[in-house]
Structure 1
Amino acid sequence: MLALGITLALLVIGYLFGRHAEQSHFERLREAEAQLQSLLMFSEKRIPPQFQPCEVKLVGGNTVIAVDYFKVMAAALRNFFGGRVAAYESLVERARRESIVRMKREAQALGASAVFNVRIETSSISKGAKEQQVSVEVYAYGTAVIPRHG
């Protein structure tokens, strides 16, 4: 009985801390996205004439986010009953948005006005017991367009 109580207490604590950390991360992402909103981002490969003459540089942002224990438990239950695994969806969304923010910050530091040919790659970084996903990596990259005056 004591072991069950400890397990439940740890699950509740893990859930509360994990949820707080996730909400804090989403808030920081919203602030960073608002600051970087003026830096345009396109999936188009060709740089249009209005951005030329310019210098171009490859920029990227990489993020690895580990799944917390509560999400592992929630995903295991969801796999048993079927349906969307919302716990992992938010994990991937946070990693994707963080990677884009990091890519845009790198472009901004170079003086870029836009990033073209934006691509996003995802992968599972590590596997736990029974091939269970433990963390996700997202890499966002593109071509920073730096205006050349003169």
Structure 2
Amino acid sequence: MIVTTTNSILPIAANVVIGTNIFSDIGASYVDFFGGRSTSYEKKMQEMYKRVTETLKQRAQAIGADAIIGLSVDIDEIYHQVP
């Protein structure tokens, strides 16, 4: 339950799409096979999180917001096949 002293709460959203390259994918395949952590994918995820939070901060400031409450980040994969 949300309790606030403000007159309104306006939802804002942001989307960020970042692609990986062939070398990241090959490296991640080896990590999948042998085990361990994929630092290249971790760096991409950190970059996505940073970019989306910066975008949300800018959008919140543009509407005069003082805070961002209830931040939720969802990460999905988009597959693209070349015909």
> How far off its partner does 1:47 sit?
4.4
**TM-score when normalising by structure 1:** 0.48
CA deviation profile, 1:72-98 (whole Å, cap 9, x unmatched): 121122223211111111111111121
Larger strand proportion, structure 1 or 2?
1
Q: Identify the residue that residue 69 of structure 1 maps to in structure 2.
A: 22
Instruction: Provide the rounded CA distance (Å) in 1 between the counterparts of 2:62 and 2:6.
Output: 19
Residue 28 of structure 2 corresponds to residue 86 of structure 1: no
Larger helix proportion, structure 1 or 2?
1
Identity of aligned residues (%): 25
Structure 2 unaligned segments of length 5 or more: list them: none
Structure 1 unaligned segments of length 5 or more: list them: 1-44, 129-150
CA deviation profile, 1:36-88 (whole Å, cap 9, x unmatched): xxxxxxxxx6344xxx2333211111101000121112112222321111111
| Larger Rg computed on CA atoms | 1
Q: Identify the residue that residue 59 of structure 1 maps to in structure 2.
A: 12
Q: RCO greater where, 1 or 2, for CA within 8 Å and sep 6 or more?
A: 1
**TM-score when normalising by structure 2:** 0.82
> How far off its partner does 1:105 sit?
0.9
Runs (4+) of structure 1 exceeding 4 A deviation are none
